[in-house]
Amino acid sequence: MIRSFNARLVARFAAVSALTTLLGACGSMSLPSLSSNPEPAPAEPGVAPEMPASIRADEIVGRWGLASFQNPADRARTEAAARGQCKQPYVIGAGQNGGVIMHLADQATPQELRLKGSPSGKNYIGPPGPTPGEQDREIVSFDGRVMITRFVDKDAGVRYGNMVYVRCAPRA
């Protein structure tokens, strides 16, 4: 029973994949026009250039205590807890291309992310692409000593909450 169910599932997936490929090919084919005055094809909207963030990458590179909260009333307590994490700090490194080295939600390996601005004045940290992207985190507040971020993706935002980064004192 399970094998036949799996076989049907694989067959359906193969059929859907084949149809998707064929339909994609049809969309790229050019058929002759039947009218004498063909309408010009609408111009594809251009991708807006990435806006610079008002926070520079070098401002957040360093060692940070990290904690999170869901309830805004817990912010002060969470900042104190984050400060206590400086014994085992979260390190935000400098990227080779001007970004920062951090983790994306649910990713074990850190990667270089960009600081991105937006027309609304908000700042984001995330991979290249539209702002805000699903993998971005919004910088909710930043004063040089404390940074609070929240993931744009609703599910990640619920799981991780408001991430509080408190800058650790330099090593003596």
pLDDT in tens, 118-140: 999 999 999 999 999 999 999 99
pLDDT of residue 59: 98
- Residues of the chain below pLDDT 70: 1-49, 171-172
The two structure tokens encoding residue 67: 């904690």
pLDDT of residue 31: 46
Return the structure tokens found at 102.
């951090």
CA atoms of 68 and 75, how far apart (whole Å): 8
Structural contact between residues 155 and 61, judged by C-beta atoms closer than 8 angstroms:
no
Distance CA 118, CA 138 (A): 10
In whole angstroms, give the CA distance from residue 48 to residue 130: 8
What distance in Å separates the CA atoms of residue 166 and residue 110, rounded to the nearest whole number?
19
Q: Look at residue 39 in the predicted model and tell me its pLDDT.
A: 53
Q: Domain ranges in the chain?
A: 51-167
What pLDDT shows up at residue 35?
47
Whole-model pTM: value is 0.71
